[in-house]
Amino acid sequence: MATDASGAAVQLTPTQLKVMRGVGSGQLNKQIAFDLGIAEATVKAHMTALMRKLNVRNRTQVAIAAQSLSRHAS
């Protein structure tokens, strides 16, 4: 489970988690879309949902949240 910018728990879908991991790895939307077998527009929609759920404003903040999530998981 991820947390938003204020530290509150956030429920993410499995695909949102995969997109978040891709962003955390530095992948472009196009690369994430190819890896997941979905359209680039779908990745963009997931990014919008992630930013809203995580209460962040940009891709860099999503990547930081992904790194934080991976540290807590290991």
Tens digit of each residue's pLDDT (9 = 90 or more) over 25-62 = 999 999 999 999 999 999 999 999 999 999 999 999 99
How far is Cα 2 from Cα 39, in angstroms, rounded to an integer?
Answer: 24
String of b and e for 50-73 (b: at least 16 CB within 10 Å)?
bbebbebeeeebbbbbbeebeeee
Give the range of the structural domain holding residue 67, as residue numbers without chain letter. Answer: 16-73
Residue type at 42 in one-letter notation: T
Is 36 among the domain residues? yes
Is 44 among the domain residues? yes
CATH number of 20's domain = 1.10.10.10
Whole-model pTM: value is: 0.85
Is 11 among the domain residues? no
Q: pLDDT band for 2, please (50, 70, 90 cuts).
A: confident
Of 8-12, 19-23, 43-47, minimum mean pLDDT range: 8-12
Total domains present in the chain? 1
